Amino acid sequence: MKILEIREKTVPLNSAISNAYINFSQMTASIVSIVTDQYIDGEQIIGFGFNSNGRYGQGSLMRERLFPRIYDLSEGDYQSDNLDNIDPFKLWNAMLTNEKPGGHGERAVAVGTIDMAIWDLVSKIAGKPLWKYLSEKFNKGNYDKSVFVYAAGGYYQPDKEVDGLIEEIQSYIDLGFSVVKIKVGGGDVNIDIKRIEAALNLLGSGKKLAIDANGRFNHEQAVTFAEIIEPYKLRWYEEPGDPLDFDLMSTVAKNYYEPLATGENLFSLQDATNLIRYGGLRPDKDILQFDPALSYGLVEFLRIIQMLESSGWSRKACIPHGGHLMALNIAAGLGLGGNESYPGVFEPFGGFFDGAKVEGEIVKLHDMPGIGFEGKSDLINLLRTSLK
Ligand SMILES: [Mg+2]
């Protein structure tokens, strides 16, 4: 069972959308494939991965440091103990050889991208969907056959007024979503309040609307905004301030009764641990959004789950960022609280397999071996044609 070749390419993921912090006009993503000497039904087994949206392509880091460390291994170095598969933990350890702790940034994204391709590979070799493989290996055979999903959108776009936002939310409702998230913090607070009220008017309840400030506010702005929105009883208030400012988060938590959410920009077990230690978050209501594809992959995410459970948190508090198939498999197989979705945005990486239907708040799973990319035609076509 040998890894023959690892391929990568940076592809554009550009779009006219903006959140409170960045626009996506120059955005890119890395795609990766790992080619093996294994065949099933005459077809060579290849694992695919990509980096989750919001961080740029990681090609040079992968080519210069991570791929050579895998190529340096012999076959026996990465085989599972019973020799029937590849061991993601062994490959992970090899990728992180001679890397100092801390300063996680882009390195965590590069490792997370390769880690995705490794888990795709491993579950294909096992002949199982990744969610099933994970449930058997790490969740005592338990899994959720349907997963809570919400539509993340409501970006700022040139010439998009409140009417445009309402049209967008209506399109999500038409697709079957009942919970929607919109951006705030992009400028004038009064405009944000108009956006929130218009969205609430359409959705009918605060529990169906989440808002995301993408880390834009300072302490004072974050608390003031919390006071303004508290009466709406929203589903959650996401990333009010800088993701690494745990004191700010703790201050907001002291001054805001309704649920908070954060974690998509924390890229390591240590950062996640610090959030739990110092962020003042409340295990009975707050949401954690660590995105395995941006933060050293599923290998590190499994350690994060362990840390959470030994700190009095439930894994159900995790609703990963990313809106991709990898996070859907993880949510189902490990029994998390749900998954994000970006209908029509970040295509072809966003969204689930062809024909996947959202009914109410739930999406059902696939039965294909691996992560399920082969069931999403636009994505598998891009991966196959770009990584020849
Ligand atoms: Mg967010």
What DSSP string runs through 277-335?
HHS---TTT-EE---GGGTTHHHHHHHHHHHHHHTT--GGGB--SS-SHHHHHHHHHHT
Single out the residue in 107, 127, 147 at which a domain terminates: 127
Same domain for 91 and 186, yes or no, is no
pTM score, whole prediction: 0.96
Distance (angstroms) between ligand 1 centre and the Cα of 82 equals 40
Residues 148 and 38 in one domain: no
Q: What is the mean pLDDT of the chain?
A: 95
Question: Residue 358: which of 340, 376, 345 has the closest Cα?
Answer: 340
User: 212: CA distance to ligand 1 center in Å?
Assistant: 6
pLDDT at 129: 96
Which tens digits make up the pLDDT trace of 70-129?
999 999 999 999 999 999 999 999 999 999 999 998 999 999 999 999 999 999 999 999
> Chain-centre distance of CA 221, in angstroms?
27
Q: How far is the CA of 214 from the centre of ligand 1 (A)?
A: 5
Parent domain of 321: 137-386
Q: Does residue 64 sit in the same domain as residue 123?
A: yes
Q: Give the per-residue pLDDT at 74.
A: 97
Residues 145 and 121 in one domain: no
Provide the 10 A C-beta neighbour count for residue 278: 13
Extended beta strands in the chain, E state: 3-12, 28-40, 43-50, 146-152, 180-183, 209-212, 236-238, 260-262, 287-288, 339-341, 358-359, 362-364
Compute, in angstroms, the gap from residue 7 CA to the centroid of ligand 1.
30
Q: How far is CA 332 from CA 1, 45, 252, 362, in A?
A: 28, 24, 31, 11
**Domain annotation covers residue 348:** yes
112 with 173, same domain: the answer is no
How many angstroms is it from 16 CA to the middle of ligand 1? 17
How many whole angstroms from 314 Cα to the centroid of ligand 1?
21
The verdict on residue 72 lying in a domain is yes
Q: Measured in angstroms, how far is the CA atom of residue 210 from the centroid of ligand 1?
A: 10
Residues 121 and 152 in one domain: no
Tell me, yes or no, whether 227 and 359 share the same domain: yes
Run of H or E including 249: helix 246-255
Last residue of some domain: 127, 150, 178? Answer: 127
Nearest CA-CA partner of 147 in 304, 345, 340: 340
The reply to whether 101 and 240 lie within a common domain is: no
**Whether residues 162 and 100 fall in one domain:** no
Do both 177 and 258 map to the same domain?
Answer: yes
Cβ proximity of 299 and 88 under 8 Å: yes
* Ligand 1 centroid to residue 26 C-alpha, Å: 19
Q: Is 357 a catalytic residue?
A: no
The catalytic position among 321, 324, 366, 376 is 321
Gap from CA of 98 to ligand 1 centroid (Å): 32
Query: Tell me, what's the pLDDT at 160?
Result: 84
DSSP label at residue 15: -
What is the rounded CA–CA span in Å between residue 81 and residue 76? 9
- CA-wise closest residue to 21 among 301, 212, 275, 284: 212
Place of tokens 């061991």: 87
Ligand 1 center from residue 320 Cα (angstroms) = 10
- Residues 179-197: b if buried by 16+ CB within 10 A, e if exposed: bbbbbbbbeeeeebeebbe
Q: Which residues of the chain have pLDDT under 70?
A: none
Looking at the fold, whether 154 and 303 belong to one and the same domain comes out as yes
Residue 257 has a pLDDT of 98
255 and 377 both lie in a single domain: yes
The number of folded domains in the chain is 2
- Confidence at residue 370, expressed as pLDDT on a 0 to 100 scale: 97
Buried b (16+ CB within 10 A) or exposed e, 110-145: bbbbbbbbbbbbbbbbbebbbbbbbbeebbeeebbe
104 catalytic residue (yes or no): no
| Residue at a domain's end among 127, 152, 187 | 127
Task: Please indicate, yes or no, if residue 123 is contained in any of the structural domains.
Answer: yes
Question: Looking at the domain assignment, is residue 8 inside a domain?
Answer: yes
Q: Which of 90, 124, 183, 376 is catalytic?
A: 183
**Beta strand pairing call for 3-12 and 28-40:** antiparallel
Give the pLDDT confidence score for residue 352 in this predicted structure: 84
Q: Where residue 68 sits, what CATH number does that domain have?
A: 3.30.390.10
**Domain annotation covers residue 132:** no
Of all residues in the chain, the percent with pLDDT exceeding 90 is: 86
